[in-house]
Structure 1
Amino acid sequence: MSERLYLVPIGLAASPQAEDGDAVRLASGLVFAHRFAAIVRRDGRVVGRHPFTPRTAAETFARLPSGLGDDAEEQWAGLRTAHPPLQMGDRTIRLDQPQVAGILNVTPDSFSDGGKFLDRPEDGAAHAAAMLEAGAALVDIGGESTRPGARAVWEGDEIARVVPAVEYCRQMGAAISVDTRRAAVMAAALDGGAHMINDVSALRHDPQSAEVVAARGCPVVLMHAPGSAEDLHAGCDYDNVVFDVFDWLAARRDAAVASGIARERIVLDPGIGFGKTLVENLALINALPLFHALGQPLMFGASRKRMIGAMSNEAAAHDRLGGSVALALQAMDAGVQLIRVHDVAETVQARNVWRGLRDAALTDFSNLPD
């Protein structure tokens, strides 16, 4: 019999003064939480739910079943952790506010871009420049499609696709992330000027990938995907998708640290759309604030994904802008630090308006003079 604990933010607040100071900043960002629940799960089933606020946290933790107090303290600290910026070349990516990562796919079979940036590198460079000008904090370059049913790519082909894109983005002075699960591609991309690795397999696909990341000392994104072989979408059998993904990411974080990767360089991603149904994706998105309890910055990627089409009369990928922005705003409301998108200008505009609203909320309008 095993018990696990989850500290779930269940009530957000516009500002700390709205709750007489009884609120905390999630991940020291722009989102505040007032009400929480300590959820106890035993052998996969929820057996206890203990609501609390920051002022009653200590007494709530003291009443938890034996052995869970340390977990409670660790997750409580994780929820409030102020993450240091990501240093990516000459660029510093602050994590106390949402940042937008622009997607650059250099594949022939991308579900969204259809290979146009692979066949015409000058168009890829122009697209990267436009994303940076629109306000992207970094460019995330991918040379292999990971959509359901996509065929695996030989690492030599992936390198040939990715490295030229890395080089033209480097010449622009961009902060560069490379979306790959192969150690040889990671090494070649980093040699070409990339700064961060975004691995959809969370360093499981290639046994040498963790060694490469540890040796280079670069930031890494560990994303949840249930599949362990070529099909990242396989093996999707969850007792509770939110808590199962949370536990899985905690295990991958710990494995990365054990491999020599500094904890402050680890970013976590719940893997929206990877081996999850529409209902499971929606559950994860609604539960995003919980994942701050893991104590790491978060990345969120739902841009143009099939779940948007499923809720909008099967709209094609290029007609999913509204849904993509809606999901990005939901992630911002949850305190997510890195939002990975195709439509940078529109998302940055939405983020800037969102940021203005968050700043304004810190002024308690009920106390303004007449």
Structure 2
Amino acid sequence: MSRHDAAELAHRLGEHAEAVCRHYLSNGRRSGNYWQVGDVRNAPGRSMFVRLRDSPNGPAGKWTDAATGEHGDLLDVIRDALGLIGFGAVADEARTFLAMPQTEPERRSSRATATPIPAGSPEASRRLFGMSRPIPGTLVETYLLGRGITALRGTGSLRFHPRCYYRPEDHGPTEAWPAMIASVTDLGGHQTGAHRTWLDPDGNGKAPIDTPRRAMGDLLGHAVRFGVPTSVMAAGEGIETTLSLRCALPDMAMAAALSAAHLGAILFPPTLRRLYVIRDNDPAGDTARDALAERAGEAGIEAIVLSPELEDFNDDLRHFGLQALRAAIANQLMRQDRLRYLKRAA
């Protein structure tokens, strides 16, 4: 990218300076015509000032850290807040942010225009996922570890959004909460939807709201995927339930369909020969199990049900521990899969 293109991109970000700060410098707050935060890496504090409006002192988006003397523009903010390497990655992140629809006050005050997209559409889900960040070191990692889920390798389908909008069902005012964003994809890896799990900012599980889980986009037949399936894979309902089993079988490809109804309709990869159905211990789980097993049989795929001792496998993981979960799963796997997957996980 040329210097002129970089300057133009920084200028466009400056037109949305407050929205950029609220997203990437979420530990700060507005003070008059400035956004104050600890530093460009989003530390709490008040030593860094970001100009939110053009003024005789300079254009919107320029910032100075009074403690260190550092200064720059909003491209620097995106780079350092996310820890990105290379200007290409910074530019891609900036363009993704600028493609997102802004709040109504932001639209009125900005000369830039964003392509409108329908709320809840597959395109909206792709933009939401694109403007979220990888989970290492974020509240999502804290949330999953708090549920006993420690095997996080291969979880690129999950990301963290620090301020994801939440609209109460009673039509109350829109709120913003941190959230785990999951990419829902088809068999070809194309994102068709997203699933949001809003989180408590203090790291104490899900956010204290009426519906902390919601999906958007085209979901039927698709799933949140972990690993690349070959001849064997497992499929379950919830993300946490599926990841709990993956702690015991980290090399087995798995998919979370997000609900019992969607689990029964999940599409089969063309290479699949054996499907482990991750069952939830409730009537809806039984219905999904029967529907999926019937469809698999009709497709020539062997279906084997994996059943938890408690409500689901996350309950088993937290109550009994990982070694006990592996032992219980071993008795439900085919012998060749015990040798292939449990031996590697030991």
TM-score range, shorter chain: under 0.3
Instruction: Select the structure of larger CA radius of gyration.
Output: 2
The TM-score normalised by the length of structure 1 is 0.25
Bigger relative CO (Cα 8 Å, ≥ 6 apart): 1
The TM-score normalised by the length of structure 2 is 0.26
